[in-house]
Amino acid sequence: MAAIRGRVPLALVLGRRHLPDGAPVAAGRRIDATSVTLAVAGGAALVYPLVEGRELGWPAWCLALPALGVAVLGLFGRRQVRRVRAGRAPLVEPSILRRRPYVAGLGLVAQGPSRPWRR
């Protein structure tokens, strides 16, 4: 819990400094429900086995579900690229993955709070 308390203020400060002030969706455009569904399903398929797997004794589905999650997130990414090419608003702008600080931040989040900050 202490790691979260330290990171939230830091994320807020860095977010105010580096994120754009504009609205995430242009006026008159709706959020793509299919993209939201793919993002949530893919993320849940990655996280749920990590949260519950140890307690359940790491059944086979705990190994298969993250692979499915990666595939679903791949479909999500492909959908976002297609939406941009079609001139429609994506849920996540694919070009953000070309920004080194963003990708480095994803790496830090992916390794979890237990790595370098463990006491």
Domain that holds residue 36: 32-102
Please report the pLDDT score of residue 98 as a whole number.
84
Question: Number of helices (H) and strands (E), helices first, in the chain?
Answer: 4, 0
Residue 20 lies inside a defined structural domain of this protein: no
Q: What is the pLDDT of residues 37-59, one digit of tens each?
A: 999 999 999 889 988 888 999 99
Q: Which of 53-57, 64-68, 89-93, 102-106 has the lowest mean pLDDT?
A: 102-106
pLDDT of residue 3: 53
User: Is the residue at 9 inside a domain?
Assistant: no
The pLDDT confidence band at residue 119, using thresholds 50, 70 and 90, is very low
Task: Give the C-alpha separation, 31 to 33, whole Å.
Answer: 6
* Percent of the chain's residues with pLDDT above 70: 76
Separation between Cα atoms, residue 119 and residue 111, nearest integer Å: 16
Whether residue 36 is contained in a domain is answered as yes
Q: Is residue 16 part of a domain?
A: no
Domain count for the chain: 1
Q: Are 91 and 32 in contact (CB under 8 A)?
A: yes
Q: Which two tokens stand for residue 101?
A: 């600080």
SS3 9: helix
Q: Is 76 a member of any domain?
A: yes
Is pLDDT of 71 > 90?
Answer: yes
In a domain, 47, yes or no: yes
Phi/psi zone of residue 96: left (φ > 0), alpha (ψ -120 to 50 degrees), beta?
alpha
